[in-house]
């Protein structure tokens, strides 16, 4: 199996993501420069966090026009696994690969701290090693993490079980107090209907070893690797 | 020919920045200001396009495909000769 981590001008979580897959999971992984027009031999592609194109115009708005995104879209359409983390999630929404949009945090502050996520759907390639309802401690670091979509879309996400993670208390209660940015229905991560594309605002690559305060995020990458073995 | 495009959040979308600005204005004593919403302004130089209809078509496509996120934003524009 081979993972690819896309690097846009301004991406800054690419190396952390690469490190987790390379050193902690021990799986083959390569960087994919954003000008690459063909994706060959990859089983999973990750759009990492950062500030692609300086967040100019809107977060992720310019990255969606990067040459590599045509290939990422074709890869996703063909069933390949695509994970968008933070800015990567924003890029997936801007590209239409995931519904909705990420807006400015309701408190108007950049929030950089650990949060708790409740695993809502463990029937995805990204969460299959987790238990339903399992609480993960993973950090967020964003100014535009406020997930929003119209009620019809939100209801469809619920009905189709496309909500993968919600912000919760450490006990797994989904409350407004536990919602750091005002995201609709406490949504922290969603997947597409086919469940091969997922976006999440928190940074699992920053919570993959205890040295950084939590290893809970490693499950996302381990789930992906496990799912690729059986595909 | 120039196009002036304004991009605003849809009315159904929360605008915390607009609210923050409103609070500042209120604190300065302007009691008649009931709401403030913040948007973006773009000026596009259409040198080389002579036909206004063609200009409008291009500007609308640019506004839809680049300048706005249609999930949360809408736009209005004017063509100035």
- Are A94 and B69 within 8 A, CB to CB? yes
- Residue B3 CB coordination number (10 Å): 21
- Would you call B17 an interface residue with chain A, using a CB distance cutoff of 8 Å? yes
Please tell me the predicted confidence (pLDDT) of residue B48.
84
pLDDT at res. B81:
84
User: What is the four-CA torsion angle of A118, A163, A207, A68, rounded to 10 degrees?
Assistant: 180
Percent of chain A scoring above 90 in pLDDT: 99
Rounded Cα distance, A147 and B49, in Å: 39
In this prediction, residue A190 carries a pLDDT of: 98
Predicted confidence (pLDDT) per residue in A122-136, tens digit: 999 999 999 999 999
Answer whether B13 touches A (CB < 8 Å).
Answer: yes
Distances from the Cα of B3 to the Cα of A106, B42, B54, B62, angstroms: 32, 8, 12, 11
Question: Angle A164-A79-A144 (CA atoms, 0-180°, nearest 5)?
Answer: 40
The partner residues of A135 in beta bridges, in order of sequence, read A118
What pLDDT is recorded for position A230? 80
Of A231, A229, A226, A225, the C-alpha closest to A46 is A225
Q: How many A-B residue pairs are in contact by the CB < 8 A criterion?
A: 33
Residue A62: HSE in the Cβ half-sphere, 13 Å Cα cutoff: 12
Nearest CA in chain B to A182: B14
Strands A3-7 and A29-33: parallel
* Tens digit of each residue's pLDDT (9 = 90 or more) over A158-182: 999 999 999 999 999 999 999 999 9
How close is the nearest chain B Cα to the Cα of A68, in Å?
Answer: 17
Instruction: Please name the residue of chain B whose CA is at the shortest distance from the CA of residue A146.
Output: B14
As a whole number of angstroms, the distance between CA A222 and CA A21 comes to 9
Partner residues linked to A112 by β-bridges: A141
Rounded average pLDDT over A80-98: 98
Q: Which residues of A touch B12 (CB under 8 A)?
A: 150
| Mean pLDDT on A152-157 | 98
Cα–Cα distance, A151 to A146 (Å, whole number) = 15
DSSP conformational letter for A166: E
Per cent of chain A over pLDDT 70 is 100
A133: left (phi over 0), alpha (psi -120 to 50) or beta: left
Q: What is the 3-state secondary structure (H, E, C) of chain B?
A: CEEEEEEEECCCCCCHHHHHHHHHHHHCCCCCCCCCCCEEEEEEECCCCCCHHHHHHHHHHHHHHHHCCCCCEEEEEEEEC
Bridge partners of A191, per DSSP, are A198
Tell whether the model's pLDDT for residue A231 goes beyond 80: no
A185: left (phi over 0), alpha (psi -120 to 50) or beta: left
Three-state DSSP class for A123? coil
Q: What was the pLDDT predicted at B49?
A: 85
ipTM above 0.95, yes or no: no
Pairing of strands A197-200, A81-85: parallel
- Tokens 């070893």 belong to A209
**pTM of the model as a whole:** 0.96
Show which residues on chain A lie within 8 Å of chain B, measured between beta carbons.
57-58, 61, 65, 93-94, 99-101, 103-108, 148-150, 182
- Residues of A marked active site are found at 86, 203, 205
Mean pLDDT of chain A: 97
Taking 80 as the threshold, does the pLDDT of residue A207 lie above it? yes
pLDDT one-digit tens code per residue, B14-50: 999 999 999 999 999 999 999 999 999 999 999 888 8
Chain B residues closer than 8 Å to A108 by CB: 16-17, 20
């Amino acid at each position: 199996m081979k993972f690819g981590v896309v690097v846009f001008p301004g991406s800054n979580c690419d190396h952390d993501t690469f490190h987790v897959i390379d050193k902690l999971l021990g799986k083959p992984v390569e960087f994919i420069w954003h000008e690459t027009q063909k994706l060959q031999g990859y089983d999973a592609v990750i759009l990492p966090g950062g500030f692609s194109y300086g967040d100019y115009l809107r977060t992720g708005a310019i990255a969606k026009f990067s040459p590599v995104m045509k290939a990422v879209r074709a890869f996703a359409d063909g069933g390949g696994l695509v994970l968008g983390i933070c800015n990567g999630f924003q890029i997936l929404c801007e590209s239409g690969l995931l519904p909705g949009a990420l807006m400015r945090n309701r408190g108007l502050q950049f929030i950089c701290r650990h949060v708790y996520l409740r695993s809502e759907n463990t029937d995805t390639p990204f969460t299959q090693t987790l238990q339903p309802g399992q609480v993960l401690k993973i950090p967020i670091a964003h100014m535009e993490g406020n997930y929003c979509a119209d009620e019809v879309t939100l209801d469809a996400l619920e009905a189709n079980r496309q909500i993968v993670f919600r912000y919760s208390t450490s006990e797994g209660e989904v409350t407004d107090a536990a919602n750091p940015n005002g995201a609709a229905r406490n949504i922290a991560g969603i997947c597409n209907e086919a469940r091969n594309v997922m976006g999440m605002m928190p940074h699992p690559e920053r919570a993959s070893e205890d040295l950084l305060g939590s290893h809970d995020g490693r499950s996302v990458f381990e789930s992906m690797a496990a799912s690729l073995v059986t595909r | 020919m120039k196009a002036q495009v304004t991009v605003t959040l849809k009315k159904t979308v929360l605008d915390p920045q607009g609210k923050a600005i409103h609070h500042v204005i209120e604190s300065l004593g302007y009691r008649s200001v009931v709401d403030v919403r913040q948007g973006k302004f773009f000026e596009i130089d259409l040198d080389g396009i002579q036909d206004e209809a063609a200009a409008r078509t291009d500007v609308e496509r640019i506004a839809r495909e680049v300048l706005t996120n249609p999930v949360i934003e809408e736009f209005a524009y004017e063509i100035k000769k």
